[in-house]
């Protein structure tokens, strides 16, 4: 129940991030919905394909409904979205943390090594945003700016440490999620960026 | 037999749409062929991956040959393609309808719920064009303009109604296809567009 | 052992090609690593998904380590990379040949027809570069310039001829690889390009 509320919050925040960028590019309603949906479910879909499992959203309409809700929200509160930025940043971060934990646990359950699980957690959390940026024809944001995907890696390492210390799934997941949230908030607050690669010329 | 002729017409039209856009971007022969092929088979390939089934074209060279035929056509009739636009529009619409029906039926046969089948029908019909536009580095056309993917959704709902009324596969498929064709032609004829999302500023 | 050395050389060259282009676009360290990794493993991952097999890199950390090594190399030798261009061209070509052979053999082992195997060999060799170019938001290079993917097709046909002549896996693979290398080197040396499609206007 608690996890479902987080899932709703996270999916909504991811979908809204896609829909807002689509609206900035003058997509129509259908295009905005598809970009929102892809942002929300794209990472998890890639994970499930790589794990040879049926994509999670194909038997559960929850994610489609969430995205529809996000579309209505963006249309209704268009003028207030900028004021809600802090809230959506928080919700997006909660989604990132939850998706990372889900990705890690599903990969471990499928019998893959831990480093694969950390990659899958990162892909689940940050992959949707890459699809979003490809669809709006921009260089993916997570490759250029912000500690975003890296927060999932930090959380994944925290999960690994908890796991090695003998903690259970629930505790490890909570601690992992807390690390993701903390890493992202600290990075934004202290404006921590990864160094950019120098070009050759 | 009748279905195979439609499949040829549809695949050819999809491939040619990809090859023409590739030629406008000065792709070489190989690039144009790949973009044409991806336009023709991309949607169905995504569907088959999501359904955990081997992609349909991997055991049947028909689609590769169709695409080669499309490439020869574009080279031979380059100066007349614009005059053929109405024909290609019709063939493309036939392909859209057939691919939507195929996607719906394959998904239902795999045991997924009806709303998943409608999504898969839409993906089968409209997905190839998204790959095409990503490859030529443009924002996907179906997100900005034209009732295209939405015609598949309309057809999918028609299929669902027929199915609930107890009609068989063949009748439901035909009616679904007719609705796709009708929705697209009416939309183009009466210049019906979805509203564009207003941006925030 | 010999194959593993080639695999290291090829993976490194592919990763470095991705990292260099990412650095030209001012990606951060994480983005450059992801683009490098996708260039190195993207083609093989698509192949494995299409063959319904678990992606090769998910149980073997070798490819992640190679890519990390490539990132360090680009940072350390930034000013000398242009001077190393001939070496990297050679290594990249070796990778292309090896990946093409791997793709062909894995597809034949899965029971698909030979023409599918040639497509899969080409996808394994050239697919990573397409992902790379989509991520850096450019029209894929292999669609516009250079005999690159086509060298894999040439090699694939050579494999087929050897196979029909009754040669074993090892000989066929070696001859296929030699043809890939030869085709690419000759094409670059004699500046052989495929013709570009004329646009309609």
C142 vs B contacts (CB less than 8 Å): 30-31
Token readout for B189 is 């004829």
| Residue B8 burial by Cβ neighbours in a 10 Å radius (0-12, 13-18, 19+) | middle
Q: So what's the ipTM on this one?
A: 0.93
Is B196's CB within 8 Å of A135's CB?
Answer: no
- pLDDT, tens digit (0-9, with 9 covering 90-100), for C120-175: 999 999 999 999 999 999 999 888 877 899 999 999 999 999 999 999 999 999 99
Contact C172, C163 (CB under 8 A): yes
Between C29, C58, C59, which is nearest A197 by CB? Answer: C29
Name the H helices within chain B.
2-24, 29-50, 62-76, 85-109, 114-135, 149-164, 169-189
Q: How far apart are CA A157 and CA A146, in angstroms?
A: 19
pTM, 2 dp: 0.94
Q: Do C201 and B79 meet the contact criterion of CB atoms below 8 Å apart?
A: no
- Sign of the CA dihedral with A27 first, then C129, A194, and A119 last: positive
Which of A49, A51, A197 is the closest to C27 by Cβ?
A197
Q: Which residues of B touch A64 (CB under 8 A)?
A: 115, 119
Q: CA of C59, closest CA in chain A: separation in Å?
A: 7
- Identify residues of B whose CB sits under 8 angstroms from chain A CBs: 49-52, 112-113, 115-116, 119, 130, 134, 137-140, 142-145, 149-150, 193-200
Residues 6 or more apart whose Cβ sits within 8 Å of residue C97: C10, C125, C155, C176, C177, C178, C180, C181
C-alpha–C-alpha distance, residues C93 and A97, integer Å:
41
Residue B201: per-residue pLDDT: 67
Q: What is the DSSP string of A115-178?
A: HHHHHHHHHHHHHHHHHHHHHTTS--GGGTSSSSHHHHHHHHHHHHHHHHTT--HHHHHHHHHH
pLDDT confidence of B2, banded at 50, 70, 90?
Answer: confident
SS3 C136: coil
Rounded distance, CA C191 to CA C147, Å? 9
A65, A68, A69, A75: CA torsion to nearest 10 = 180
Name every chain A residue with its beta carbon within 8 A of the beta carbon of B144.
25-28, 31
CA dihedral A75, A76, A82, A87 (to 10 degrees): -110
**Residues A61-106: tens digit of each pLDDT:** 999 999 999 999 999 998 888 888 889 999 999 999 999 999 999 9
Chains with 3+ CB–CB pairs under 8 A to A are B, C
> pLDDT for B109-167, tens place per residue?
999 999 999 999 999 999 999 999 999 999 998 888 778 999 999 999 999 999 999 99
């Amino acid at each position: 129940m608690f996890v479902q509320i987080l899932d709703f919050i996270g999916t909504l925040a991811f979908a809204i991030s896609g829909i807002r960028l689509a609206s900035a590019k003058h997509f129509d309603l259908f295009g905005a919905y598809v970009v929102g949906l892809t942002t929300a479910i794209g990472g998890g879909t890639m994970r499930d394909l790589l794990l040879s499992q049926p994509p999670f959203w194909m038997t559960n309409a929850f994610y489609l409904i969430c995205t529809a809700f996000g579309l209505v929200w963006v249309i209704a509160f268009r003028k207030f979205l900028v004021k809600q930025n802090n809230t959506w940043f928080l919700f997006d971060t909660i989604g990132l943390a939850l998706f990372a934990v889900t990705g890690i646990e599903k990969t471990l359950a499928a019998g893959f090594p831990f480093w694969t699980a950390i990659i899958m957690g990162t892909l689940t959390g940050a992959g949707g945003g890459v699809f979003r940026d490809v669809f709006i024809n921009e260089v993916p944001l997570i490759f250029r700016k912000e500690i975003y995907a890296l927060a999932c890696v930090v959380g994944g390492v925290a999960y690994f440490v908890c796991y090695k210390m003998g903690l259970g799934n629930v505790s490890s997941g909570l601690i992992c999620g807390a690390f993701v949230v903390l890493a992202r908030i600290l990075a934004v607050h202290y404006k921590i960026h990864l160094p950019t690669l120098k070009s050759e010329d």
